[in-house]
């Protein structure tokens, strides 16, 4: 027997399908569409069971459910927190889980809840991103991790958990492309390198900003000869400050030799 939460509708070619909704606390929650009425009924019954049985936890999803995994998480969170979020998020006291799938759970600070409740996280290989106005925005960018940054070289997850994006767990080791902080005993300096058929050392510098600008200077020279999509750095300086450091910064003669 068809439930009041199931509505029959038609595609453009007149093929029928069934849309499923559940209502709780005045909130009408869409659960998806099904070609078979029997599947739609099972999905609706799954939803009722989840909302009524507090013993069903966020990690109790079963393959026998007709309701999708994302909707399962949405309902469990809504039941436990009283807050409806359309993305697969489960709220904890001081942070929240974002479920990419049953086996991949990301952790974020509550400060990020507004953003991730509005932006769905997508995954391609190891790349995590959201869409903003049709553009792909890397998750790493929100945490000042450069687009070409390498984990455990340019940044690291302090507790070793690469799914834990809470701010206190992310340490930026190198803020700029081609720049690496080196500590030898009591001495700390910044080494700049650039990749052109292998890594070329640009120089060693007292500050990270100098090294970043030295890298840019090498890029400006090398792109005159090499058809390569070099990445540039964007230090937080005004034009005058940048130009002053740029003109005073010396780079390896090797770079000049390469363009002659």
Among the residues of the chain, which ranges form H helices?
37-52, 69-81, 113-118, 208-222, 239-248, 253-259
Half-sphere exposure of 21 (CA within 13 A, CB side): 11
How many Å separate Cα 260 from the centre of its chain? Answer: 42
For residue 129, is pLDDT > 90? yes
CB contact at 8 A, 93 and 72: no
**200-230 burial by CB neighbour count: b if 16+ within 10 A, else e?**
bebbebeebbbbbbbbbbbbebbeeeeeeeb
Q: Identify the CA nearest to 219 among candidates 237, 183, 192.
A: 192
In which element (H, E) is residue 138 found? strand 135-138
This prediction has a pTM of 0.80
> Using 50, 70 and 90 to split pLDDT, how confident is the model at 1?
very low
Q: What does the pLDDT look like over 6-43, one tens digit per residue? A: 999 999 999 999 999 999 888 999 999 999 999 999 99
- Residue 158's alpha-carbon distances to 84, 167, 246, in angstroms, are 32, 10, 34
**129-140 burial by CB neighbour count: b if 16+ within 10 A, else e?**
bbeeeeeeeebb
Specify the 3-state DSSP secondary structure of 45. Answer: helix
CB contact at 8 A, 53 and 46: no
In which element (H, E) is residue 29 found? strand 27-34
For residue 83, is pLDDT > 50? yes
> Using 50, 70 and 90 to split pLDDT, how confident is the model at 3?
low
Query: What average pLDDT does the chain have?
Result: 93
Mean pLDDT of the 94-116 span: 96
Q: What does the pLDDT look like over 184-215, one tens digit per residue? A: 999 999 999 999 988 999 999 999 999 999 99
């Amino acid at each position: 027997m068809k439930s009041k939460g199931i509505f029959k509708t038609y595609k453009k070619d007149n093929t029928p399908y069934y849309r499923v909704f559940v209502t709780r606390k005045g909130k009408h929650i869409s659960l998806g569409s099904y070609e078979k009425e029997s599947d739609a009924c099972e999905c609706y019954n799954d939803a009722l069971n989840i909302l009524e049985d507090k013993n069903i936890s966020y990690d109790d999803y079963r393959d026998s459910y007709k309701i999708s995994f994302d909707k399962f998480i949405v309902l469990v969170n809504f039941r436990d927190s009283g807050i409806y979020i359309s993305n697969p998020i489960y709220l904890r006291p001081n942070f929240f889980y974002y479920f990419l799938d049953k086996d991949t759970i990301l952790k974020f600070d509550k400060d990020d809840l507004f953003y991730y409740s509005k932006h769905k996280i997508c995954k391609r290989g190891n790349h995590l991103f959201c869409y903003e106005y049709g553009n792909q925005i890397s998750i790493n960018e929100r945490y000042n991790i450069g687009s070409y940054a390498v984990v455990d070289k340019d940044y690291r997850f302090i507790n070793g958990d690469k799914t834990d994006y809470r701010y206190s767990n992310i340490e930026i080791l190198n803020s700029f492309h081609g720049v690496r902080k080196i500590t030898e005993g009591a001495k700390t300096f910044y080494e700049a390198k650039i990749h052109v058929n292998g890594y070329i050392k640009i120089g060693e510098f007292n500050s990270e900003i100098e090294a970043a600008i030295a890298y840019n200077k090498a890029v400006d020279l090398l792109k005159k000869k090499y058809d390569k999509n070099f990445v540039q750095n964007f230090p937080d300086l005004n034009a005058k400050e940048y130009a002053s450091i740029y003109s005073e910064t010396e780079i390896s003669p090797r770079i000049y030799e390469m363009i002659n």
